[in-house]
Amino acid sequence: MSGRYRQRPAGGDNSVKTPLQPKSVNSQNSIDRLVKPFKCPGSATPTRASEKPSRKRRKVNYANADGSVEDGEKPYTNDDRLALETREANKFPAYKPKDKEVAFRQRFQVPFLNKATGEYSSGRVAPTLGMRRGATFVVKPLHDPSGEFAIVLYDPTVDDVAEEPASKNPEAPTEDTPKLDEPIVHKSLADILGLKKNVEDRPKVPVVIDPRLSKVLRPHQVEGVKFLYRCVTGLVDKNANGCIMADGMGLGKTLQCIALMWTLLKQSSEAGKTTIQKCVIACPSSLVGNWANELVKWLGKDATTPFAIDGKATKAELITQIKQWAIASGRGIVRPVLIVSYETLRMYADTLNDTPIGLLLCDEGHRLKNKESLTWTALNQLNVTRRVILSGTPIQNDLSEYFALLHFANPNLLGSQAEFRKRFELPILRGRDAAGTDAEKKLGDERLQELSGIVNKFIIRRTNELLSKYLPIKYEHVVFCNMSEFQRGLYNHFIKSPEIQSLLRGKGSQPLKAIGILKKLCNHPDLLDLANDLPGCEHAFPRIIHPRFSGSR
Ligand SMILES: Nc1ncnc2c1ncn2[C@@H]1O[C@H](COP(=O)(O)OP(=O)(O)OP(=O)(O)O)[C@@H](O)[C@H]1O
């Protein structure tokens, strides 16, 4: 038979012929149909609701669709369909339990071992096996050390000084040798599987200044940041973590300290770790806003949100905010930088005492020159690891003040104050005394050199001559201005007054005051209080007088 039979709906009318039925009269099928009673045509014809022509049926041949050759001539039987449904390729994946005999007799295998070599595959993150997954960190520096503006502060190949191993006693038991009296300690699953995180083993990576800062830093500032970083991270001396930045005015101490702080907040020599979590900037109250602005200026407004105590909050709000800042830790630290005036910091030092502060920057740090002051004591009792003093004038009067600053930046570097006084201060002062002996002068010079050797490693000072190449040429114009008639009248009145006359004879007691009055007078009489400074000067007033002076007539 060459035609295809169409499937009739179950329970449908068998007598309905479809146009696809073949017209063969000799077959058994045709005979069967002929003997059936006649039915009026159209009685079972489906009526179409739509006027549109009926869609033509297309023959689709599914034979060979899955690669198997089927007899396309035959109609599908139910068995065919069942066979199709249960065919392997058409089945949904279903979990098949392993045969328990085989499964239980199999040897246990550590799941993250490389099956080919039987070794732990180090490139693969260990499966957690029900434990919390340890932090995975990428072993690479935060910023590319070979980038265009890269400034590398720490290079593990250069700066990583390996600790001298203590000379080993061959008799001493090594870690591998089990001691007889050692208590048996059960190993944890993490230990057995080799998953135990060894935090000490973090690989070392270069520390690179954020490119957004390195492209604006001037050469002397790059040197400054390198100096600061080495001092505070113990690369200069592993027992000292502080320093004094004593650059002259306008050299950009603020930018250098921001670069240091930002680097420490974001990176460390250990991959995936930061050096510090919190930083405090102590400064005069007038500079709090300036520091906050400089942070935005150099880092951009989305980099960090400082907690600047600018006096706008009420006392109750401030206490809550400081307490919150103090207890925040880890990811809870949303404002890592606290900018605060010395006075406020002193007031709330007790609240902050237990907070680990990674870095303390003290702007205008010569405020800490008095070791006995409340500010020095309050700031010194904070739990600070690294301290930087910023001051354009670190040495002001005497060595005790110098000691207070150095001792604050690096406690115990110079011993106690009494030790410092005995070893350095007194011999140096005696050596400078005009009545000092040669031996005292020699000793004084030696001690001064020794002191410089110790402290110069932690002080950086450049003068603002460095700025000359960034500033336009300076022109100085000297212009002589004659005094006006009114000024000259006042001037003559003043120098002829009895007080000045006696001053000129060397009898008066306030020559500086007189010079001050003359200076002001030459600039503008408005600067003086004429009635008090120049009594009786009314005769020198011009005829048309400013209403301001009319009262004093
Ligand atoms: N690399 C730089 N590029 C452009 N401007 C800079 C740079 N470094 C600093 N400045 C600008 O120079 C000015 C002086 O800088 P800054 O106030 O930090 O100096 P300072 O050394 O702290 O001075 P002072 O002792 O007066 O506080 C600021 O306006 C600062 O923005």
Ligand 1 neighbourhood includes 22 CB (under 6 angstroms): no
Ligand 1 centre distance from Cα of residue 249 (Å): 8
Instruction: Report d(CA 258, CA 359) in Å as an integer.
Output: 11
- Which residue has the CA at smallest separation from atom 1 of ligand 1? 217
User: What is the rounded distance in angstroms from the CA atom of residue 246 to the CA atom of residue 257?
Assistant: 12
- Residues 282 and 360: their CA atoms lie apart, in Å, by 7
DSSP string, 128-179: -TTSPPPPP--SS-SS-TTSTT--EEE-HHHH--PPPPPPPPTTSPPSSSPP
- Least Cα distance to 384 among 489, 241, 210 occurs for 241
Q: If you measure from the C-alpha of residue 362 to the centroid of ligand 1, how many angstroms do you get, rounded to a whole number?
A: 16
Protein residue whose Cα sits closest to atom 3 of ligand 1: 216
> Going from the N-terminus, what domains does the chain have, and what CATH number goes with each?
207-416+455-465 (3.40.50.10810), 485-550 (no CATH)
Element at 45 (helix H, strand E): none
Q: Is 394 in the pocket of ligand 1 (CB under 6 A)?
A: no
Q: pLDDT tens digits, residue range 72-119?
A: 456 777 887 777 777 776 666 777 788 888 888 887 777 667 777 777
Ligand 1: atom nearest CA of 290 is: 17
Distance between Cα 251 and ligand 1 center (Å) = 6
- Can you tell me which atom of ligand 1 is nearest the CA of 251? 21
Weakly modelled stretches of the chain, pLDDT under 50 = 1-20, 70-72, 165-168, 173, 551-553
The pLDDT score that the predictor gives to residue 117 is: 74
Q: 366 C-alpha to center of ligand 1: Å?
A: 19
CA dihedral 485, 490, 491, 492 (to 10 degrees): 90
Nearest CA to ligand 1 atom 11: 252
pLDDT at position 15: 43
Query: pLDDT (tens digit, 9 = 90+) per residue, 488-515?
Result: 999 999 988 888 888 777 776 678 888 8
Residue nearest to atom 30 of ligand 1 (CA): 252
- Asked whether the beta carbons of 153 and 207 are under 8 A apart, the reply is yes
**Cβ atoms 358, 385 nearer than 8 A:** yes
Residue 189 makes CB contacts below 8 A (sequence gap 6+) with 129, 131, 195
* pLDDT for res 133: 58
User: First-to-last CA distance in the chain?
Assistant: 140
* CA 80 from centroid of its chain's CA atoms: 70
Encoded tokens for 191:
């230990």
Q: Which of 218, 222, 254 to mutate to test the pocket of ligand 1 (most atoms within 8 A of CB)?
A: 254
Report ipTM for this prediction.
Answer: 0.96
Rounded to the nearest angstrom, the distance between the alpha carbon of 34 and the centre of ligand 1 is: 110
Helix runs in 178-314, H state only: 189-192, 211-214, 219-232, 253-266, 288-299
What pLDDT is stored for residue 183 in this prediction? 62
